[in-house]
Structure formats: structure tokens, C-alpha cells
Amino acid sequence: MSLFSRFISVLIIFPVLLLTACSTQSPSPEPQLVVMVSIDQLRADRLDPELPGGLGRLAREGFVFTNATLDHGLTNTCPGHVVMSSGRNPGKTGIPGNSYIDHVTGRERYCVDEPGSDNVVIGSDHTRSPAAITVSTFGDWLKDYSADSRVFSVSAKDRAAITLGGKEADGVYWYHSGTERFTTSAYYAEELPAYVAAFNGADAFEDGFASGFPETWEHPEGSLRVDDYVGEVTMNLRVSGHPLTRGEQRGNQIYFSPFIDDATGELARLVLAEEELGMRGSTDFLAVSYSATDTVGHLYGPFSAESEDALERLDRELGLMLDALDARFGDNYVLALSADHGVQALPEWLRDQDDLQCPVPGGRIEMNAFGKTVFGYLIQRFQIPPDRITDLIGMAAAGVTVNAAVAEEIGLDRAAVLVGLEAFLEAQPGIETVWTEAEIRQGESETARLYRNSWVDGKSGHLIVQSAEDCLIWRPEGTTHGSPYLYDRAVPLVFYGRNIGKGQSDAEAHSIDMAPTLGAAIGMPVPDGLDGAVRSEALRGSGQ
Ligand SMILES: [Zn+2]
């Protein structure tokens, strides 16, 4: 092309460009983006305004509820996430726990599976979908309110990404350690968008998201306790220099490290850019759930050197996220952050602090041995054929079930089995109480109310076992959550950005308040009958 013809084509194209710019650019919506951030397993006491990165910035510049809790008793990941997006307690969402026994089929179900359906995970053979969720969530409300709005969700965990994204999401991505890839299921898309496939690379560790990860995860000595601590899980070593990108377990090793948060954040920012979120004239929604504080926390406990490092790295990652949002939207976005649950400290640590309340020496009830004891009792007491015991008794996150059809088949008085099982469990050291459906429905205590809020007909266990405070029904090492105690239920709750004031409140607040408050911040009506409330004290111009 000659200089002259290039000049002419510029003359021709230039006015066209101007015209296009004028005719298609609609005014920016207010706000351009709603962001929901979940930190998997973050106790309220870990939100530290002194942190230099994004978490600290939110604590300093946002509106912080210092007395926020989950308003339900069964504190797992799946219910903890669905309450954020739905504004309802788990009992109303169809999600009592991470897993439950379907009372009709007697089969154990995972909260976001859909066996027998075509909603297969891309690159795998298992199903994932939001089929078990019985209510609408924030993304659905937004699409009803503004038809062009788009909804995306990213997490290392399928159950977090799906419960935050909901049924109508345009893209929901999570990490699958078996295939070392971020993926989705056919429920959401037939194939991964090219940019997600490129993020994965042909081999994530060669040319994909993990290619820059070091061989080992190095971290400093902790400020609270020594790196090598009794009770920590030995799987990936108990001391710094944890294996990361080498060996057959590398897909799993990165999942149990803070590096999975780096990948999650990077993919979320890729979604932001590639999907032009907030840039097409309507308010869009992006949910991000960071999982490493949970995966790391389970292995080493909340006061470990590993957890301290994971929090610092998360703080840095959230800084990158806020920088990216600032760069794209200025102050024209609104964000809320909470956690799906807290966690119990390692009983060994509590004991060394002289702070272990559990009556069982050492604070641990090893769950496999415990299960065997229970089965042994039932087999002997009710003459149950040993090969039918696991058909009769189901144990899942949502509680213990006694299958009616199996009981009838082997000629058992099911009611008597329930009574016997409850009494036996309640007599075990370290068990606070065992809840029956009637006790949960009619109980007047605060704990009964919390379990009522977790209750789903046909999915919740016939018996729900409540451990005594600080008693861990778990493996020989590591720790978990799931109880109604404050160490599992107290979580951070922060709002930030457009239409949000700066400040804090010690009023009782809950993670179910997230979705309605975000709705109010963007002027969007939310469904009637939510359990959560609009926290008007967080809204700018509320005069508080
Ligand atoms: Zn967990």
C-alpha cells in the first residue's frame, strides 16, 4: 500500500471510527461490576487492618461488620457459599451440607453433583451442576433486573464456584486437581472458552497457569508457633519447602497450597478482561472464592506458619484484584467479602495454650475408629447382618441416616434403631448431644435454631451429632470445621466501593446479608422472604 492510499484509507476509516464510537458506546452503568469475594475458611479474627495488601485495605477502607456470623449450625463449604449468593439460610436452599444421604435412594450425594444427567465435567467423567439448589441466587436476580447483565464465577472448588454463580451463570470455572486444569461442566458450556483453555495450556506446569510456580512452597517461620508442629498433616511435609510442582501429586500439591489462589485470581482477572465485564453498558457480576486458606488450614491449622503465609499471600493477591478493579472501573464497582466458615484450632495447639475445653484427652475423636465402634454396637445390639450395616446407616456431612427400606427388608424396628443409636452416640465422650429431627424442629435453644436453619427435608440426617466444644471428630492429624461453635461460625463481613460508606459496626450481622445488601447498593429489588437483611448502615448516605 502506498503512502497516498494509506492516507486516503485513514481519511475514510477515521470518521467511521468516530461514528462507531459515538453510536455504540452506552453510558457506564452504575456500578459497572458487582464483585462477591469468598475466602474459604477465614475466621473473623484473621481480618487484620494491618495487612499491607487487599485484605488489609478492605478492612481499613470498607464497611466492616465486626460481629458477623453464619446464621446456621452445620458449617461446611457448600452451605456456607450458597447463603452468600442466595441471602437464605441453607435450609431453604436445598443444600444442608457438602454431602448428604438422599433419604429416598439411600445414596450419598455431593452437594453439586447430578448423577445420571448429561452435565458432565469437561475433561472428566463425573457430573456437576447446581441442580440441588432449590432457590434463585444473586446472578439470577441481576439477570431478571437487567437482561444484558452477565454473571461469572471462579474458584478452586466446584462447590464454591457453582453455588456462587448459580443456575443462570454465563461462565463458572473451577480447578480439578486430577486433570490439573480449570474446567466447567456441560451444564454451563459445551467447551471451555479459548482463553480458559489457553490459561490451562497443553500442560499447566509447562505452558499454562502453573508454569511459573516454584518447585517447592517456601515460607518463613511462623510468628505464633514453630513451623514443625505436632498435629499437622505430614502429607506434603510439615515444614517449609513443601513439595509443589514435582512428582505425580503435583496437581494435588498446588491445590493444598496458596499458589492455587494465585491461579484463581489470575483466571478471574482474565474473565474480567476477556468477557469485557462492566464494559458493555450493563452491571455485571463476578464471584471469586479463594480456597487456599481452607486447604492449607485443614492440613496445618489456623495458627501455623503455613496459614500465616497463606493469609499474607492471599492479602497480596487481593491487592492485585483491587488494583485491577480500580484500573478498569475507578470507583464504579461494589464488592462484598465474607467467608463460608471458620475452623477449629489444632487440639494439640489448644492443649499447649492450656485452652482445650474438650473432655477427651488430646481433643481428637478419630472418625474411622469412631464409625467402627458405632457399627459394632449396632450390629451386636440389633443383630444386623454386618454386610448390610453400611446400607442401613448412612453417614454424610448433613448427618446420620437410618434407611427405612433397608430396615424393613432386614426386619428391623427402625424407630428402635434410631433411639438406640442416639443413646449410644450421646454416651460417647466428646459428644455434646445428638439432635433428632423433632429436637431440631421444636428446640428453643439458640443451637436448635441454628440447626433448624440448616435443615432440609429429605436430605438432613435423621440424627445430627454435635461434638463438644474443641472436640475434633476428624483424622489423626489436621483440623476441620462444621460445628455451631463460634470458632466455626464467626466470619468477616466487609462491603466496599460504590454506594458503600467507610466504617464499622459491631451489630449482629450474617453472611446471608451479603446478597440483599449488594442488591440495595445497586438499587436492584431482591426476592421477598430472604433470611438476610439489607445492612443499611453500610450504605453511603444512610446517615450512620
Ligand atoms: Zn474446609
**228 alpha carbon to ligand 1 midpoint, in Å?**
22
Examine the pLDDT at 7 and tell me if it is beyond 90: no
236 pLDDT band, cuts 50/70/90, is very high
**Rg of the Cα trace of the chain?**
25
**298 alpha carbon to ligand 1 midpoint, in Å?**
6
**281 alpha carbon to ligand 1 midpoint, in Å?**
38
Q: Which of 257, 276, 277, 360 is nearest to 317 (CA)?
A: 257
Examine the pLDDT at 15 and tell me if it is beyond 90: no
C-alpha torsion angle, residues 307, 312, 314, 317 (rounded to 10): -160
**255 alpha carbon to ligand 1 midpoint, in Å?**
13
Q: What is the mean pLDDT of residues 339-343?
A: 98
> Taking CA 158 as the corner, what is the angle to CA 155 and CA 163, rounded to the nearest 5 degrees?
85
**442 alpha carbon to ligand 1 midpoint, in Å?**
29
Neighbours of 374 (CB within 10 A): 19
User: What is the C-alpha separation between 51 and 220, in angstroms, rounded?
Assistant: 16
pLDDT at 3: 44
Average pLDDT, the chain: 94
**202 alpha carbon to ligand 1 midpoint, in Å?**
30
User: What is the C-alpha separation between 189 and 305, in angstroms, rounded?
Assistant: 40
**151 alpha carbon to ligand 1 midpoint, in Å?**
25
**346 alpha carbon to ligand 1 midpoint, in Å?**
14
Sign of CA dihedral 89, 301, 101, 367: negative
* Buried/exposed 188-212: b ≥16 CB within 10 Å, e otherwise: bbeebbeebbebbbeebbeebbbee
Among 189-203, 246-260, 368-382, 529-543, name the one with the lowest average pLDDT: 529-543
Please answer whether residues 60 and 319 qualify as being in contact, where contact means their C-beta atoms are separated by less than 8 angstroms. no
Q: Please, which residues bridge with residue 490 across strands?
A: 69
User: What is the C-alpha separation between 371 and 389, in angstroms, rounded?
Assistant: 11
**481 alpha carbon to ligand 1 midpoint, in Å?**
6
**254 alpha carbon to ligand 1 midpoint, in Å?**
16
Please answer whether residues 120 and 105 qualify as being in contact, where contact means their C-beta atoms are separated by less than 8 angstroms. no
**300 alpha carbon to ligand 1 midpoint, in Å?**
12
pLDDT at 311: 98
**280 alpha carbon to ligand 1 midpoint, in Å?**
37
20 pLDDT band, cuts 50/70/90, is very low
**171 alpha carbon to ligand 1 midpoint, in Å?**
24
Reported as a single tens digit per residue, the pLDDT across 108-146 is: 999 999 999 999 999 999 999 999 999 999 999 999 999
pLDDT at 26: 55
Examine the pLDDT at 293 and tell me if it is beyond 70: yes
Please tell me the pTM assigned to this model: 0.94
Helical segments of 97-154, H only: 138-145
**446 alpha carbon to ligand 1 midpoint, in Å?**
24
User: What is the C-alpha separation between 306 and 11, in angstroms, rounded?
Assistant: 61
Identify the three-state secondary structure at position 462: coil
12 pLDDT band, cuts 50/70/90, is very low
27 pLDDT band, cuts 50/70/90, is low
**444 alpha carbon to ligand 1 midpoint, in Å?**
29
**384 alpha carbon to ligand 1 midpoint, in Å?**
34
Q: Please, which residues bridge with residue 286 across strands?
A: 35, 152
Q: Which of 188, 173, 166, 169 is nearest to 84 (CA)?
A: 166
Neighbours of 507 (CB within 10 A): 11
Q: Which of 246, 339, 337 is nearest to 294 (CA)?
A: 339
How is residue 236 annotated by DSSP?
A: T
User: What is the C-alpha separation between 148 and 168, in angstroms, rounded?
Assistant: 12
Reported as a single tens digit per residue, the pLDDT across 386-410 is: 999 999 999 999 999 999 999 999 9
**295 alpha carbon to ligand 1 midpoint, in Å?**
7
**75 alpha carbon to ligand 1 midpoint, in Å?**
9
**314 alpha carbon to ligand 1 midpoint, in Å?**
16
Q: Which of 478, 476, 457, 454 is nearest to 466 (CA)?
A: 454
**242 alpha carbon to ligand 1 midpoint, in Å?**
20
pLDDT at 17: 42
Among 29-33, 137-141, 311-315, name the one with the lowest average pLDDT: 29-33
Cα–Cα distances in Å, from 296 out to 11, 260, 317, 473, 500?
59, 11, 16, 18, 32
Please answer whether residues 493 and 358 qualify as being in contact, where contact means their C-beta atoms are separated by less than 8 angstroms. no
Helical segments of 201-338, H only: 250-255, 259-274, 292-300, 305-329
Examine the pLDDT at 345 and tell me if it is beyond 60: yes
**306 alpha carbon to ligand 1 midpoint, in Å?**
15
Q: Please, which residues bridge with residue 285 across strands?
A: 34, 151
**169 alpha carbon to ligand 1 midpoint, in Å?**
24
**77 alpha carbon to ligand 1 midpoint, in Å?**
6
**131 alpha carbon to ligand 1 midpoint, in Å?**
22
User: What is the C-alpha separation between 351 and 342, in angstroms, rounded?
Assistant: 19
Contacts (Cβ under 8 Å, ≥6 apart) of 301: 229, 231, 232, 307, 343, 345, 346, 349, 478, 479
6 pLDDT band, cuts 50/70/90, is very low
